[in-house]
Chain A
Amino acid sequence: METTNILLAGVGGQGVLLASQIFTSVAIEADLDVKQSEVHGMSQRGGSVTSHVRFGDKVYSPTIDPGEADFLIGFERLETLRNVHCLRPGGTIIYNSMRINPSTVAAGVAEYPDEIAAKIAAFGEKTFQVDGLGLGQEAGNPRSANVVMVGAVSSFLPLPESLWEEKIRELLPPKLVDLNLKAFHLGREAV
């Protein structure tokens, strides 16, 4: 299998890292070589977070270079726009349309850009908007929006549904499994 590059972008605290973990464990189970990279440290304090997931027959670099992502998964619309240039020509954008104010916007020293959806669409690639927050709520907790996004992307990947379910069961605390399986399916059906 050629290397698949998935770039996840969101805000500290949104569960970007758990989502990455689901991707990497599914890929490893499918007998693929996998690398994942993220930078953490300051990200917990509400900063931007990106995580790079790469899998295929053999993967060297743990990071995805600009212009090489097959999928950009945005967990928030401004963070999606911030990373659109990382997508390869013909790549796919799947993003949660929710808004989280950066501290500069909350403090009134910067403005949250408008018409983000149009700007993302203007990049001309395949674009899917997902109401991650709404679907998360429907699943039982808005915090499961990250797993909604995993579900949405899973429908584009040639990996069996049962594998995803198995890994969600393994990676989440038992009392959150049912809720997150529901979130996964809602996401999978949303695109």
Chain B
Amino acid sequence: MSEKKAILSGNEAIARGVWEAGVRLASAYPGTPSTEILENVKNYKDIYSEWAPNEKVALEVGIGSSIAGARTLVTMKHVGINVAADPLFTFSYTGVNGGLILVSADDPAMHSSQNEQDNRNYGRFAKVPVIEPSDSQECKDFVATALELSEEFDTPVIYRTTTRTSHSKSIVTLGERTEQPGKVELIKDMPKYTMLPVSAKKRHPLVEERIVKLKEYAETTPLNRVEMHDTKIGVITNGISYQYVREALPEASILKLGLTYPLPENKIKEFAGKVDKLMIVEEGDPFFEDQIKVMGVKVDHGKDLFPLLGELSAAFIKAQVSGVATELKDAAVDLPGRPPAFCPGCSHRGIFTILKKLKVFVSGDIGCYTLGALPPMSAMHACVCMGASISMGHGMAKVVENSDDMSQKVVSVIGDSTFFHSGMTSLLNCIYNKSNSVAMILDNRTTGMTGGQENPGSGRTLSGEEAITADIPALVKAFGIKNVVKIDPYNLVDIEEKMKVALASDEMTVVVVEAPCVLRYRISHPPLKVDAEKCTACKRCLTVSCNALSLEEKGDDSFVVIDPNMCAGCGVCAQVCKFDAIGE
């Protein structure tokens, strides 16, 4: 059989790997840089795959599938593991039936995340092994090893990637699917799968024994590989850092760890003994370094040269080791940045235009609407994690004195996907505890920020099948909230009037904005035009922050123009113009 090759991203390679390894079920909640794994898995018809409404649900669906005996994949971004931590820690006790891998896609340098946590720590905390690939071939190949290990040691496996391993493409040799060994059927085994104190007390010692056995396994597994070259410098490294080290220090000897928890103590000591200088090159926390120091091994360099913030690179490693930085030409300075902005036509634009005008405190959440925090909108004043907007807003409203001062009133803003993820319980808390805050649910029928994935409000599943369209106003009413108001986000007067009523009320109001994402659903109206005669260049329309608008200067004259290739004809800019200069 001739070898089939393809150039795949790490995420595409993981999808291919789980297909080849006979996985039957995959569940996930989207989150950069993990999202494309399930988007690719869905193309393999041998695997049942679905979007869950949040990461905890995704993992629990996976646990069920594993208990039934099926090989299983669950994926999420790094912060998703925080949401799924509760089932993860006890799943560590029950162990698996069908092998299960839990992909944690970390984001050093925070390309698109709210924090930079290093999820290798979860392996140690939950006492489960962590496997880390360093290119797309390994992303694919390590999957099969991880599933075998999961089944052999009766444990879930954390499969950690980073933005660079997930999103970089490299050449992969493909294989074929092998159906998994073992049968899928429900077998009742109460002491193993029902975690009550009586059974959990029996499982915990097994977890501790498992870690000891995994340490032995770590000594011999091909996942951990020694590459002896010159013995002056020896480097212990993992994941994408391995690629940087190979490039920066071609002469160095390397201990490349693919199983990054638990560590192979003997192998590390043996390697350290063969080299003059030992360096540990790892992005993120001193995860190896701390443990290796505890083993009594002398570490010459680690976090002193390779800091824990952000990402490493080949040039940086080379410069730190040699002590000489390559001379670089200065970058051009004072260039205007190009931050992301709401798409032309986005339904969030009008909402934030009015929230800014009302001068209220906006308790925000995570989604495209978080872009409302950036200038010139600057109309979001807190954002912590998914689902937090409504609960934080409730907490604020409870302690701030009630007054007519608009700057002391809170509006919580949350998207549909985030509402389904973890905002529903927050809202239930509000009505139960008599909140007088205002919550806005921006329902654009998709998970916009991560690229427009389906959710329980979209009417479609991951595989494209028709599904329910969750009725948010009905759901909110069922919680017992009486003031449920609908707003048209393209009518600024409507937004302002209804928001003023809501803010004046001493009872909770929930505002539901139903308008589909224009990017996801390709919605567009004929572009608007600016009448240069009427335009006074007051720049008022520019404050709606639409990339289709710009100020044109011709000699002494200046006026605003609309790029007809970009404008979606939403009319928001026209409504803020005081001179009636924008029209069809």
Q: Count chain A CB atoms within 10 A of each CB in B313, B335, B545, B549 and give the residue with the most.
A: B335
* Chain A residues touching B, range: 35 or more
Contact (Cβ within 8 A) A36 B340: no
Q: What B residues does A38 contact at CB under 8 A?
A: 167
Chain A stretch 37-69: residues in CB contact (< 8 A) with chain B = 37-48, 59-63, 65-68
Binary per-residue interface labels of chain A (162-191) against chain B in the complex, 1 for a CB within 8 Å, 0 otherwise: 000000000000000000000000000000
Q: Does A78 contact B (CB under 8 A)?
A: yes
Q: Would A33 and B171 be within 8 Å (CB), given that A66-B328, A68-B315 are in contact? A: yes
- The answer to whether A96 has its CB under 8 Å from any CB of chain B is no
Asked whether A36 lies within 8 Å of B341 as measured between CB atoms, the reply is no
User: Do B7 and A34 touch (CB < 8 A)?
Assistant: yes
> How long is the Cα–Cα vector from A60 to B33 in the complex, in angstroms?
21
Residue of A nearest to B9 (CB): A36
**Closest B residue by C-beta to A80:** B332
Find the residue from B168, B244, B334 having the highest chain A CB count within 10 A: B168
Contact in complex: B340, A25 (CB < 8 Å): no
- List B312-341 residues whose CB lies under 8 Å from chain A: 313-316, 326-332, 334-341
Q: Nearest Cβ distance between residue B368 and chain A, in whole angstroms? A: 7
Chain B residues near A102: list those with CB within 8 A: 336-339, 547
Which A74-127 residues sit within 8 Å CB-CB of chain B? 78-79, 81-82, 84-85, 87, 100-113, 119, 123
Report the Cα distance A42→B170, complex, angstroms: 23
Contact A66 B336 (CB under 8 A): no
A105 adjacent to B375 (CB under 8 Å): no
**A45-B343, A106-B542 known; A85-B328 Cβ under 8 A:** yes
Given A85-B330, A107-B545, verify A34-B340 contact (CB < 8 Å). no
**Chain B residue at minimum C-beta to C-beta distance from A58:** B246
CB 8 Å contact bits of B149-188 with A (1 = contact, 0 = none): 0000000000000011001111100000000000000000
Which of B5, B244, B247, B315 is within 8 Å of A67, CB to CB?
B315
Complex CA distance for A28 and B329, rounded to whole angstroms: 32
CA–CA, A106 and B547, complex, Å: 6
**A63 engages B313 (CB within 8 Å):** yes
Give the residue name and chain of the A residue nearest to B375 (CB): A109
The reply to whether B375 and A65 contact each other, CB–CB distance below 8 Å, is: no
A62 contacts across to B, CB distance below 8 A: 135, 164, 168-170, 240, 243
Interface flag for B89 (CB, 8 Å): no
Contact indicator B314/A81 (Cβ below 8 Å): no
Q: Does B112 contact A (CB under 8 A)?
A: yes
CB-defined contacts of A104 to chain B, threshold 8 Å: 336-339, 375-376
Asked whether, in the complex, the Cβ of A41 is within 8 Å of the Cβ of B112, the reply is: yes
Complex contact B332–A41 (CB within 8 A): no
Q: Quick check: B243 and A107 within 8 Å, CB to CB?
A: no
- Closest partner residue, chain A, to B565 (CB atom): A142
Give the CA-CA distance A118 to B33 in the complex, in Å. Answer: 38
Q: How far is the CA of A27 from the CA of B519 in the complex (A)?
A: 33
Q: Is A103 a contact partner of B339 (Cβ separation < 8 A)?
A: yes
A5: shortest Cβ distance to chain B, in Å?
11
A45 to chain B, nearest CB (A): 3
Given the complex, which residues of A lie within 8 Å of B243, measured CB to CB? 60-62
Query: Can you name 27 A-B pairs with beta carbons within 8 Å?
Result: A33-B170, A34-B169, A34-B170, A35-B168, A36-B168, A41-B33, A45-B341, A45-B371, A46-B547, A47-B338, A47-B341, A60-B243, A60-B247, A61-B243, A61-B246, A62-B164, A63-B164, A66-B331, A78-B338, A82-B332, A82-B335, A102-B338, A106-B546, A107-B542, A107-B545, A108-B539, A123-B329
Given contacts A33-B170, A107-B545, 10 further A-B contacts (CB under 8 A): A42-B340, A45-B341, A46-B343, A47-B341, A84-B329, A103-B545, A104-B339, A104-B376, A107-B542, A108-B376
